[in-house]
Structure formats: structure tokens, C-alpha cells
Amino acid sequence: MKHAGNTSDFIEIRNKELLMAFRKVLKEKPQFDINWDFTFVVNTPCSRFWISEQRAAVVISAILRGQPVLQAMRPTKREMFLEIYSRFIALRIDHPDAPLNDLVFMAVNSPAPKFYMKPRHAREIIYKIKKGVAPVSLTPPPGGPCRQRSAAHAV
């Protein structure tokens, strides 16, 4: 569960990618409809799933144990975790001896088909970025947008 004031390590990178997706939609559609076109923004592919590896591991582990964790989630979050779970299962087939955390790490840090957020939330983030309230990374971290696993944890 997310707590008030809790921030993720990757929020600045997510905001930067969201801003880039927004600008791309603006270039492609000169007549931007604020109520409709944020749907295009959130459906833009991005570099990773914007959830922590730890939270994803907790949810995947619960799914594997048969706990009904997905029923309490919002549809977009449920859809995201189902996609991460399907990638986890595919990785597990390829790497049957790998630990759960390593497989979840690879699944979460693989390219995501979309941002998995509501258009309204994307609009709020973009407005905060434009006002200078939301953090946005101007440069990606060393090694690209995703954190790199150490060689000791490589599968």
C-alpha cells in the first residue's frame, strides 16, 4: 500500500517519459482535445512498468499462492499486474531455477506497452510538471532508464 508522502526511485524518470509522450501526441495532433487525447498519452509504450520491483514481487507471490489480490485493484492496476505476471511466467519457463525476485525484476524492467494510468492522472502529472511542482529528471541515470541488477543477481 502506498503511504502519504511516499515517493518512488523512478518517479522523475516516469514523469519525463510521460512528458515526452505528451509532447509527441501534441506534435501529431495540432488540435489537442484535453478530454480525449490524454488517452493517447497513457497508451504510449514506455521503458518499464512504473511499479517498484518490491511491490510487484509481493503481488506476484500472492497470486502464486492463490490469494485474491487482484480483485481489490482498480482495472488499470489489475491489467498491469496481469501483464507483469504473464511476463514472469514466461521468464520462469526460460529460467526455472531463478529466484522469484530476479524474475520479477526482469519483468518489471522490461518495456511496458503503456503507462497503466488513467488519462486524468496523466493530465494532473503533466500540469504539475508544467507548474514546476512535480519532479522530472532531465537526464536518465547511468545505464539507461532502468536500474541495473548487479552481476551477482544476474540470471
pTM of the model: 0.79
pLDDT at 88: 97
Query: Per the domain annotation, does 99 fall within a domain?
Result: yes
Same domain, 55 and 105: yes
Among 123, 125, 154, 127, which residue's Cα sits nearest to residue 8? Answer: 125
Query: Per the domain annotation, does 30 fall within a domain?
Result: yes
pLDDT at 7: 52
pLDDT at 28: 83
Calpha distance 129→99 (Å, rounded): 38
CA distances from 111 to 46, 115, 137 (A): 6, 10, 19
Query: Per the domain annotation, does 95 fall within a domain?
Result: yes
pLDDT at 94: 96
C-alpha cell at 20: 515526452
Query: Per the domain annotation, does 86 fall within a domain?
Result: yes
Range of the domain at 14: 9-47+111-139
C-alpha cell at 101: 525476485
What's the number of domains the chain is made of? 2
pLDDT at 154: 43
Could you read off the pLDDT tens digit of each residue along the chain, which spans 155 residues? Answer: 444 444 567 888 999 999 999 988 888 877 766 666 788 899 999 999 999 999 999 999 999 999 999 999 999 999 999 999 999 999 999 999 999 999 999 999 999 999 999 999 999 999 999 888 777 765 544 444 444 444 334 44
Same domain, 16 and 37: yes
- Three-state SS string across 81-146, please? HHHHHHHHHHHHHHCCCCCHHHHHHHHHCCCECCCCCCHHHHHHHHHHHHHCCCCCCCCCCCCCCC
Query: Per the domain annotation, does 130 fall within a domain?
Result: yes
